[in-house]
Structure 1
């Protein structure tokens, strides 16, 4: 029997509901929470004689089809989609922010880290430039020694805390940008649209984009941090995030300059590079990765992990 890669088992762990007990008009206690480990992907190898074929194929040549055996190691990865704690690093300039250093948010972050600890990751990956890995690691080592006060970024507030609690020696940056290479810079899109027939469509898409992110921005300050992560990592929000690109901008310039398609290509190229960085870190079957990354990356990366095996 030839070794073949079995079907990827995709498990989606949503946030187990938060149990809050009220007393004297304040929150007192939170039960155990296995929190928003959004996509647990199990990579496995095995032996089979045949691959089931659909009806059309069965009516064809009826031959056995063998998958290519890539001999990939078994590895679990959980993706935690997040918002960026440092303001205005994304195209949408948000109007509402939480005070990361406040006692309330710090307590909620401790609850979050405690919940993520239940997953027992062996490697923690964060959205930080891989080219600056030495710098990231130097900060983490100083934090382990008690010489570094955590910065505001989610990489530190979540990643560093959890890695230290689990006594990890390193934390891993996996982010990388890709050249934009756009024939028309994004800032010039409206000029292009007004000279063609795309102005109305582009205005509509931009309004939808602003409405979606404005809503996400506004509710962030109205609910506990854990509830907001539950919302960010729900299937509905993850899909809506991706549809901004695939059902919106991608159409702009079709048949002419392909502004939208090129922009989405840039986004996919970046995520493919991130994916490449992640799988290069797999060392063995006992690896359990926790990836902490902006929620707009979640759906694409999940798709890549699902379909790569």
Structure 2
């Protein structure tokens, strides 16, 4: 039985940077065209199953030429990619997880108040990430956040968060449990939708890449592709 192939593509969330849609449509089109070379059989997106009907409705409107894509990477990238291959739908694989107990802001606030040296350590890694990032174009942004060295540096931040708190107050660990639950659920949802020989593009925020790759790879059920190979140069 032929293993499914998974292409994890980390992306920025376009709603947070609408200028990309307003001024870099040619860049978005190049990304879509480049991903076509992977010849996906299914496309998974970072949306929860709770909005599956709305997602289907919008995708059908897009195929009929009745939808003006919004500031959303699903509508700007996943829809045209799926439509090119005449897919019937795109697959929502995100999980709704309460990330507020504690929130990430509370984790950073604890570190700032009680562990200032650790707070500065974390800030130092975040500064290094900013130095690595290249947002001169949309394609450069994607190349950065999908690069192995950037993903590794991002994971350093998360591992430092495990030290926030003390034995009685595992503040950082409790937040990371929520984060791991979400990515475990996403990996499980991807696994459930995969069939023999499938070629699946998974479009997610870049900060999910490390754990999703690890979880899917650890299962031994998939061939995990190199994402930079399928992004425009």
Q: Does the pair score TM above 0.5?
A: yes
| Other-structure match for 1:249 | 161
- Flag as ranges the 4+ runs of structure 1 deviating above 3 A: 96-99, 184-196, 212-217
Counterpart of 1:200? 117
Of the three residues 260, 274, 280, the one matched with 2:172 is 260
1:211-290 aligned within 5 A: 211-212=127-128, 214-215=130-131, 219-220=134-135, 222=136, 224-246=137-159, 248-282=160-194, 284-290=195-201
Taking a change above 3 Å as real, the CA distance of residues 157 and 181 of structure 1, as seen in their structure-2 partners, is closer
**C-alpha distance in structure 1 between counterparts of 2:152 and 2:108, whole Å:** 26
Structure number with the bigger relative contact order (C-alpha 8 A, sep ≥ 6) is 2
1:291 partner SS = strand
Larger radius of gyration: 1
Report if the CA contact (8 A) 1:130-1:173 is conserved.
Answer: yes
Secondary structure of 2:21's aligned partner: coil
Q: What SS does the aligned partner of 1:119 have?
A: coil
Aligned mates of 1:190, 1:115 — CA distance in 2: 38
Is the partner of 1:99 in helix, strand or coil? helix
Change (3 A) 1:97 1:132: closer
Higher strand share: 1
CA contact (8 A) 1:85 1:100 kept: yes
SS in 1 for 2:173: helix
Alignment gaps of 5+ in structure 2: 221-233
Distance 1:304 1:187, change over 3 A: closer
* Total equivalences in the alignment: 220
TM-score, normalised relative to structure 2: 0.85
Q: How far apart, in 2, do the equivalents of 1:193 and 1:111 lie?
A: 42
Secondary structure of the residue that 2:15 maps to in structure 1? coil
User: Quick one: distance in 1 between partners of 2:132 and 2:68?
Assistant: 29
User: Which ranges in structure 1 are unaligned for 5 or more consecutive residues?
Assistant: 1-44, 46-72, 88-95
Contact 1:202 1:249 (C-alpha < 8 Å) held by counterparts: no
State the Cα distance separating 1:256 from its structure 2 match. 2.4
Decide which structure has greater helix share.
Answer: 2
| Separation in 2, partners of 1:293, 1:125 | 9
Distance 1:233 1:192, change over 3 A: closer
Question: Aligned equivalents of 1:98 and 1:243: distance in 2?
Answer: 30
CA RMSD for the aligned pairs? Answer: 2.2
Deviations 1:215-258 (A, max 9, x none): 466x31x2x33233222111101111111101x21101132211
- Quick one: structure 1 residues 170 and 308, their matched pair in 2 at CA, closer, same or farther if it must change by over 3 Å? same
